[in-house]
A and B are shown apart, each in its own frame.
Chain A
Amino acid sequence: MNTPGIPAEHLADAPLDTSDAVVLSMLADLYDFIDPVPSDLVDRLQFSITLDALNAELAELQQLPEAELAYRGDQVSAVTTLTFASESLTTMIAISPDGPDRIRLDGWIAPAAEAVVELHQGSLRRQVSADADGRFAFEDVAHGLARFVVTALEPAQHPPVMTPAVEI
């Protein structure tokens, strides 16, 4: 497998072989280990791209999930509420269990307004409408990092509101 004594010039003109593939894959592992990509970098990049593309207003998380880990088991039925506030509207979202390992999100927007609400989880997008009372719901949602984009239908042309990513 190794080729002792063969000068580098000869090796250079030979085709890539399986040993090269092994060396390169070790090298990738090494660099991943020595200088890993920050764990949340991909999410932050996706966030700034979406924010930029939507020209969106950024909401702030007002209330952290209570006992974040508590609703991660199927034995727990507690409802947790998230509140996002921005200049133009406030979005509240109640999280409750919806079968094993799935959750249900019940939200409402204040001031009440018809709106399109998008749920982003990685590249997964789901869209629902909020009624005139500003109420909306997502059923059968997976746990994980999620963010919401709320576009009120009135006034028209108002930029959408985007929340930071939260673990739900």
Chain B
Amino acid sequence: MINAEAEQGTLASRAGEVFSRYRDGHTEAMADLVAMLTPILWHTVRAQRLDKESTEDVLQTTWLALVRSAESISDPRAVLQWLIVAARREAWRVMRGQARQVPYEIADDAVATPESEQPDNVVLRGVSESVLWAHVAELPERCRTLLRVIAFADRPDYPELARSLGMPIGSIGPTRGRCLAKLRASLSADARWELR
């Protein structure tokens, strides 16, 4: 794995190469693509506050949709963005269905944050992690979603990923953007925060 990162490019470009290989008839490449992209897709859907079981269903539907639409995707290099958009749409569809079954009202952002994601309920390993988590929890939800997803990709991918998440241009990359700036500012104002 010497120079693996330099040779392999970003997550989005590696995914594009593997997907092109799949479209060229190497069906086994799909297994590599699933292994490569399931983490970022998992966090994309979970950031929409879907429960774990439904998230698994959403991911299955999304991957099967990719297999069925494989030939019609105009740019195989954009497969990661395609999957993110498809997964988010499917998550919305599932959530609308669930909302009809179990009506409930979301009063505000704090209430809407799943209990397991409340900072107090998360036992973290180190001080810097608990501090980071506390400040992340203070961010607006759309910022939490953006940072959660891009954290699983590589820097050159950020602008395209932000776009796939429905964020305006300039949300992140090449400049820091407001979400990450907000996090950095609040971290730097916290005396407990010390970058490793």
Interface residues of A (CB under 8 A from B): 1-4, 6-17, 19-35, 37-38, 41-42, 44-46, 48-50, 52-53, 120, 122-125
Contacts and interface: CB of A to CB of B under 8 A. Distances in A.
Contacts, number: 149
B116 A20 contact: no
A19 B181 CA distance: 11
B95 to A, nearest CB: 17
A14 to B, nearest CB: 6
A23 B187 contact: yes
A42 B39 CA distance: 9
Contact of A14 (B29, B46, B176): B176
Task: Specify the main secondary structure of chain A where it touches its partner.
Answer: helix
Given A14-B176, A123-B29, 12 more contacts: A4-B188, A15-B175, A15-B176, A16-B155, A24-B147, A26-B132, A30-B129, A30-B132, A30-B133, A41-B59, A46-B30, A46-B31
Given A7-B185, A41-B56, A53-B27, A46 B34 contact: yes
B45 to A, nearest CB: 11
Contacts of A20: 176, 180, 184
